[in-house]
Structure 1
Amino acid sequence: MILSGSRSMGVALPGRAGSPGPLRDLFSVPALAGAVFGAAVELAAIVAAVALYPSGMGEERRRAGARAAVPDGTVSLPDLSVDSPVLLVHGLCSNRAIFHVMRRGLRQAGFRRVTVLNYSWLSDDVRSAARLLADEVERICESSGHERVHVIGHSLGGVIARYYVQRMGGDARVHTLVTLGAPHHGTLAARVPLPLRAIRQLRPGSEVLTELAEPAPGCGTRFVAFHSDLDELILPAANARLVHPDLQVRNVRVRAVGHVTLPLHHGVVGEICRTLREARVSEPLAAA
């Protein structure tokens, strides 16, 4: 796997000097070998995700912790060195179980407050799930004492989180939004004839995606969008890049990693941890 980043200005990553460009790279022996290996890993990730799905059903237990009452009845705030909370948002056909590797990696990196928003992808669409996300963010901020959180969204979860940030004032609460294989510009795979509103909202040119393309002046959230050349559900794969003139975006290209593998891949998790550590001391605490 190779990770590479670029500022989101619609600029393609450069090819190697002296080569005819991406087409030759696509059919080179290393690229084909990487694609075969990545496809095998993706199949294993899908099997693992299906096996883990039952364990992620229902709401997770709330962890104790953030603000504790002291004998005089006041509430103690966490120390400034404590990291901002991290909230994870899953995608279609998924639940909180998909983030078992991500959660472990974040906690090992020092992020002690990592929670997952479980929503129903069968009944909730982008807007209704964004409202649930807004409520959960407020709960986390109130319980932890932090004014802002980091959010990581996989697939549809990335679009839900982006809708909350751009269209519901969520940029006041979200410092960094990381998306993994999110169809920011839609995906042709969403044209499958299934009666789910959330899927229809992921079609190119949908009403939701048209809203997200509208101006967002002054949006204070930092965006990091991971996109993979082996993403079988984002068609074309480049649609997982986030390109918007008003947003602060870093696009990160991931090679030979499938859609389901993205939140499970140790290299991706490590890059996310490094990204969030950059902001570890920048967030003020909310008033008690």
Structure 2
Amino acid sequence: MAAGLAREAGWVTAHLIAYPFGLIGDSNAKPDQRHSLGGLNLHQRSLVHYAVDAAATPILLVHGIVDNHTIFDPLERALRRRGFTDLSSFDYGLLTTDVRATALDLATAVERLVAESGYEKIHVIGHSLGGLISRYYVQRMGGHERVHTLVTLGTPHQGSALARVGSMLPLVRQLRPDSDLIAELNEPAPSCDTRFLAFHSDLDQLIVPSRNARIEHPDLRVRNVPVHGIGHMSLTNDRGIAFQIAAALAQLDDQVEFDPHEATVAGSLVD
């Protein structure tokens, strides 16, 4: 526990240094889609060799509240090292006040990415609030037609009791366990065929209780993955999580269902 908290503090400090660059950088720049294998070892280049579609399927990264795309820098590097070639970010700004409105903007960004890439379906990885925005788009706005796999990291799928403290703010109010937004996400979703991979940590200090980062919905194809000793912000900076994400995104066969037994990831720094 102490080691996890120390690691969280270190990563938050490092992220605060990088954060200003995310405010001035261009998160919508065209991703590096070169397919050179020169810097990869045999294991890393196997994805590009034998699963070209999986390697080139666009991956869109969606950050959390009051954050920007720099939170994903370690995870993006890890995925590129594993052969994924098309990664970009959706920055929705600091003034977001409504999950539904931001999901509309996300829909526009996804359509643009689909048009530019030529791929009809993409993957989305959302951290914290970014996962909830992405899930709303997928589940309630027809986004399942565009999103093959949605990965969420520390997302308040069932709300967070901590949101009761700041519920005077409209956006925070939507994150309460009893909010109308959470109730809407609990409604039936029989047509949603997107795969969901939801990571939840026993050391997540922002999702209270931590199990609320799980997706509990009878209509959705979900694999909930518990992780141990990893703080909320450090979820994007963990080798074990990156490995699990890469393994899931490398598999595009929709006939293959997730293992019904949950995987467990122990904390380890992204290399």
TM over 0.5: yes
Aligned to 1:247: 220
Distance in structure 2 (CA, Å) of the matches to 1:104 and 1:271:
15
Distance in structure 2 (CA, Å) of the matches to 1:190 and 1:118:
22
Does the 8 A contact of 1:65 with 1:144 survive in 2? no
1:106 aligned onto 2:72 = no
* SS of match in other structure, 1:202: coil
Aligned to 1:52: 18
Instruction: Pick one of 123, 133, 141 that aligns with 2:96.
Output: 123
Q: How does 1:141-220 map to 2 (within 5 A)?
A: 141-193=114-166, 195-220=168-193
Unaligned runs of 5+ in 1: 1-34, 67-78, 283-288
Instruction: Pick one of 14, 37, 40 that aligns with 2:3.
Output: 37
Distance in structure 1 (CA, Å) of the matches to 2:167 and 2:14:
25
Does the 8 A contact of 1:80 with 1:281 survive in 2? no
Deviations 1:152-188 (A, max 9, x none): 0000000000000011000000000000000000001
TM-score (norm 2): 0.82
Deviation at 1:122, TM superposition (A): 2.6
Distance in structure 2 (CA, Å) of the matches to 1:80 and 1:123:
34
Deviation at 1:196, TM superposition (A): 3.2
Distance in structure 1 (CA, Å) of the matches to 2:55 and 2:12:
35
Instruction: Pick one of 260, 263, 270 that aligns with 2:236.
Output: 263
Distance in structure 2 (CA, Å) of the matches to 1:191 and 1:144:
41
Distance in structure 1 (CA, Å) of the matches to 2:218 and 2:174:
22
Distance in structure 1 (CA, Å) of the matches to 2:219 and 2:254:
25
Deviation at 1:116, TM superposition (A): 0.6
Which one is further off, 186-195 or 126-135? 186-195
Deviation at 1:64, TM superposition (A): 6.2
Distance in structure 2 (CA, Å) of the matches to 1:89 and 1:189:
22
**What is the aligned-residue identity percentage?**
48
Aligned to 2:200: 227
Count of aligned residue pairs for this structure pair: 236
Does the 8 A contact of 2:166 with 2:172 survive in 1? no
Deviation at 1:280, TM superposition (A): 7.8
Task: Specify the code of the residue in structure 2 equivalent to 1:167.
Answer: R
Distance in structure 1 (CA, Å) of the matches to 2:31 and 2:13:
33
Deviation at 1:146, TM superposition (A): 0.2
Deviation at 1:56, TM superposition (A): 0.7
Does the 8 A contact of 1:155 with 1:180 survive in 2? yes
* SS of match in other structure, 1:57: helix
Q: Which consecutive segments of 4 or more residues in structure 1 shift more than 6 A?
A: none
TM-score (norm 1): 0.78
Does the 8 A contact of 2:31 with 2:87 survive in 1? no
Query: Quick one: structure 1 residues 167 and 245, their matched pair in 2 at CA, closer, same or farther if it must change by over 3 Å?
Result: same
Query: Quick one: structure 1 residues 138 and 201, their matched pair in 2 at CA, closer, same or farther if it must change by over 3 Å?
Result: same
Distance in structure 2 (CA, Å) of the matches to 1:56 and 1:135:
21
Aligned to 2:248: 275
Does the 8 A contact of 1:122 with 1:196 survive in 2? no
1:63 aligned onto 2:36 = no
Distance in structure 1 (CA, Å) of the matches to 2:161 and 2:15:
23
Deviation at 1:81, TM superposition (A): 6.6
Distance in structure 2 (CA, Å) of the matches to 1:159 and 1:216:
15
Does the 8 A contact of 1:223 with 1:250 survive in 2? yes
Query: Quick one: structure 1 residues 83 and 241, their matched pair in 2 at CA, closer, same or farther if it must change by over 3 Å?
Result: same
Structure possessing the higher radius of gyration over alpha carbons: 1
Does the 8 A contact of 2:200 with 2:224 survive in 1? yes
Which one is further off, 158-167 or 198-207? 198-207
Deviation at 1:194, TM superposition (A): 6.0
Unaligned runs of 5+ in 2: 34-51, 256-271
Distance in structure 2 (CA, Å) of the matches to 1:281 and 1:248:
11
